[in-house]
Structure formats: C-alpha cells, structure tokens
Amino acid sequence: MAAQDVAPHIGDRVDDREGDRVYDTLIISDLHLGADMSRARDALRVLRENKYRRLILLGDIFADLNFGRLKKEHWKFLGFIRKLSNPKRHVEVVWVEGNHDLGLAQIMAHLVGVRVYQEYQWEYQGVRHLAIHGHQFDTFLIKNLQFNHLFGTLLYLQLQKWDTKNKVLTRFLDRLGTRWQRLSEKVADGALAHAHHQHASRVFCGHTHAAMTRREHGVDYFNCGAWIDARPTYITIDEEGVRIREYVERPEDANRNSDADEDRTASEFDDSADEAGLFEDGEYERV
C-alpha cells in the first residue's frame, strides 16, 4: 500500500504502511484467537512490516479459554509476541486484559513474556495516554457475565463454523449487536469520563469492534476496531499524532511465501512453551 503524501488529521483512517517510519506506539485489539473469523495472519503481517517502540495488545486477544480452538496461525502470532518481548528487540510489549482474556492473563503473561494490566498509562510528548479495553463500561456485559459467556461467546463461536467462508452472517450479527446496545456510545462515554478523572488527554479502547474517534472536555477518545472484521483496523501514535489505519490486503500478500519464517517463529514458541511452564504464576499487574 502506498503512503499518502498529506498527513491526515487525528483519527482519520489511512491504509498505508510506511516501512521507514518508527512509531512510538502501535495498538491492536480484539484479535479473538481461537475464533474462525480471527485474522491473526494479517495482524502478524502488520506487526512484522511496521517499526514501533511500544506494542499494546488492547484486550480480547483470545476468543475464550479453550486453547484447543487455536489454529496454526494463532500459535504463530503468539510465537512472534514472545520473540518480540525479548529485551534485545527493544520493544515494550504491553497486554491489556479484555473480558475474553479473563482467566488467561497469568498464564499467558508468563508464556509469552509480557506484563498484563487492567489498564495502562504512559507519557509521550508531554501528553498522558491511557489504554483500557472498554468492557468495564459495558453495563449489559457486567450484569450478565454468565449469560454472555453461554449464549454470546460459545454460540457465536459455533455460528462462525456454520457460516460461509466470508462469515457474512456472523459479521452482520456482530455489527447489529453493537448498534442495538448503542455499545460504541456507551464505551466512549465511560472511557472519556474515566480518562478525565485520570487526567489523561487521550484514551484508547477496543471491545466494541467498531473503530471511531470522539473528543469531549479536552480528551480524545479512540477505538481501534477489531481483527475479526472484513476491514480490520489498528492505531499508530507518533510525532504527527494518532491515526486509525485500515489494513488492506495487497495482491502480493496472497502469493507471498513467508511460511519458512513463520514456521521458525512457531518452532521457537514450541521450544520455549515447556520451559515457561504453562501453569506457573506469571507477572500480573492490576492498575
């Protein structure tokens, strides 16, 4: 994808990958590893093809607690995260816990070598930034946790298996649920109020699966969308501001053979998994 000559305003969607640029922070959310709709292979390409000092995995990296659902490309993504978290790579990798990640945080923090937070704050260019998944502001989810797991997550995962290859029905139902609950507005309202209380100027969320921006009372809100959508998005932050970027598959991506490199990453992950101890206590921080 070609780089645009004119820098967009904060929050505008752009679909470029600028290989020579080093971002301060790259954020992805709602990958839902284990789900048939997860676009883990494409997300891995984004992480490989961009340069950044900090990577934030903004929650719901997993679909549920069942590791048996994970496919080969899902394990490859986790293998790359473990490799990226090596101090020699000089990249800070942050995992912010989402509602689908509950119960996995301590295990995965140790397995892939990253710290897990409920929310994460950092300073860049004198501006306080706050990253929180956003389910904390979803009142329907909080009041119906068991219902959402049984009839939301499990049924939704089964529907993906029954759906067509392009997952038209399940993606439609996902968008319909977000609109019916007015979820984007509710999460934005809660996040903006929370950021204002925390004296943060920018707040980043996922959870709604819908990329959007909003500004209120001097606080900028950004939702980075999801990686189960036909048009997945992610966020970059650098000296030019915050941008929501849309991943667009290039023709050469479909034909490019990167299996050798990816298989090597997966092998490294397999070799280290036993050493890490899947059920040992990881480094887990609630902020």
| 130 touches 203 (CB < 8 A) | yes
**In this predicted model, what pLDDT tens digit does every residue of 43-56 receive, in sequence order?**
999 999 999 999 99
Assess contact for 69 and 157: CB atoms under 8 A.
Answer: yes
Residue 260 has pLDDT above 50, yes or no: no
Of 89, 80, 14, 96, residue with least CA distance to 53: 89
Q: Return the pLDDT at 147.
A: 45
* 64 vs 147 pLDDT, higher one: 64
Helix, strand, coil share of the chain (percent; to 5): 40, 25, 35
- CA distance linking residue 177 with residue 171, whole number of Å: 10
Bridge pairing between strands 119-124 and 115-117:
unpaired
* pLDDT band with cut points at 50, 70 and 90 for residue 8: very low
pLDDT surpassing 70 at residue 35: yes
DSSP per position, 141-179: HHHTHHHIIIIIIIHHHHHHHHS-TT-HHHHHHHHHHHH
More confident residue, 109 or 45: 45
- pLDDT given at position 140: 56
Both tokens assigned to 267: 């092998």
Distance CA 104, CA 279 (A): 10
% of the chain exceeding 90 in pLDDT: 46
On whether the CB atoms of residues 200 and 191 are closer than 8 A, the answer is no
Residue 180: per-residue pLDDT: 43
pLDDT of residue 237: 98
SS3 223: strand
**50-107 pLDDT, tens digit each:** 999 999 999 888 877 677 778 999 999 999 999 999 999 999 999 999 887 777 767 7
Q: Are 255 and 86 in contact (CB under 8 A)?
A: no
Give 1 or 176, the one with higher predicted confidence: 176
Closest CA to 225 of 206, 251, 252: 206
The region of weakest confidence among 147-156, 185-194, 200-209, 277-286 is: 277-286
Instruction: Tell me the C-alpha distance between 222 and 101, whole Å.
Output: 21
SS3 for 221? Answer: strand
Distance CA 90, CA 34 (A): 29
Ranges of H-type helices in the chain: 40-49, 72-84, 105-112, 139-143, 145-147, 155-162, 168-180, 183-197, 251-255, 259-276
279 vs 196, higher pLDDT: 196
* Reported confidence tier of residue 226, pLDDT bands at 50, 70, 90: very high
CATH among 1.10.940.10, 3.40.50.720, 2.40.30.20, 3.60.21.10 for 13-270? 3.60.21.10
Separation of alpha carbons 219 and 39, rounded Å: 31
Confidence of residue 175 (pLDDT cuts 50, 70, 90): low
For the ranges 24-28, 104-108, 114-118, 244-248, the maximum mean pLDDT occurs at: 24-28
Mean pLDDT estimate for the chain: 76
In sequence order, the β-bridge partners of residue 121 are 130
